[in-house]
A and B are shown apart, each in its own frame.
Chain A
């Protein structure tokens, strides 16, 4: 009986010791090359995302979302530069209204609608009981350039600064909520 109690105590202890190394880490040779060094192209943006979850479906969704988010943040910078160039080339860079428009569009693109941001490569690895998903997103710059120019040309029709500010404020409120939970 005593022996049984000792075994019953020892077995969970062994399992606890085996798990005290934290979450299993990805083996370096298992990480896809395109994740470490995303491809570069003149006409497209590539960004990678990854996520480790207990559920394969969630890992895939999170990795895809993070890759697309990286694309969205990259194009924000590119679009703002392109608009600046467009303003200068059109000779309206000194116009006060045009300057106001530039700032509003750059806010708008922080809420980007990504058309054709495709997950072109995906790999799923297992790390212990976790699934680790790697996703590579591709966004064609030609469509981005065209869409940005279209935006610029019909500036007044699409200009909706109040809406952009409102949604941005919503997100800022969410950040504050998040901070409150974390405290």
Chain B
């Protein structure tokens, strides 16, 4: 019993202290794909059986590819406040097409894969490419500028996803990637409505506020091109990019 307890503590400490230390370089920065081809990244946590880990990582990469080719994003945020209470209700909806997913499963190829201490990573190429990539394992680089200041380029739209305090790094990256996609959508177009009222009586001013922002739109070619993990503060950042020509 004591042994199991010590092993559990050791495993937990290892997971916390050594989480996401080493990653394939294409996980941090997605390489430029050859014309007519797209890359997407998949990842999974530790499995006893490597083939299961690989299968799980490929499934994530395939879904990521389907989402980046075309996905419908529906976002709404509503904030109600009357000076006494505040209520915030964000909702996120993402869907992608089944036929695109099936096509990817048929025609994709694994361009590279890597195993680290705590996970399995795959780089998926679609459609099939002849040459393969050999990405080296590396430690996380310095904090990139895009984590604080959104990049500007006339040809691209960008969005940043940020999450923290996740017990599973796989779940954290999945959410960071999706929030980055939603952020891109908000930067592109959003319907913003609000009413602000201010009521004054003898003693108080009560400010009421209703804010509602939403969009529901289909986006093509939204690619998560960079990721960065802030080990010190346990924060996961994803940067999503879309060529503006796909939104005309």
| B residues contacting the other copy or chain, number (CB 8 A) | 41
For A99-132 the 0/1 string (1 means CB < 8 A from B) is 0000000000011111111111111101000010
**In the complex where A56-B165, A65-B79 touch, is A114 in contact with B193 (Cβ < 8 A)?**
no
For B164-204 the 0/1 string (1 means CB < 8 A from A) is 11000000000100010001001111111111110000000
For A41-85 the 0/1 string (1 means CB < 8 A from B) is 000000000000101111011101110110111000000000000
Interface-lining segment among A9-17, A20-28, A175-183: A175-183
Interface-lining segment among A86-94, A151-159, A166-174: A166-174
Q: How far apart are the CA atoms of A111 and B160 in the complex, in Å?
A: 25
Q: Which residues between 206 and 236 of chain B lie within 8 Å of chain A, taking CB atoms?
A: 208, 210-213, 233, 235
CB distance from A42 to the nearest CB of B (A): 17
Q: Find the B residue at minimum CB distance from A176.
A: B208
| A residues contacting the other copy or chain, number (CB 8 A) | 42
Q: Find the A residue at minimum CB distance from B187.
A: A118
Does B239 sit at the interface, judged by CB under 8 A? no
CB distance from A183 to the nearest CB of B (A): 10
Is the Cβ of B190 less than 8 Å from the Cβ of A113? yes
**In the complex where A61-B77, A65-B211, A179-B82 touch, is A122 in contact with B192 (Cβ < 8 A)?**
no
Q: Which residues of B contact A (CB under 8 A)?
A: 77, 79-80, 82-85, 88, 90, 148-150, 152, 158, 160, 162-165, 175, 179, 183, 186-197, 208, 210-213, 233, 235
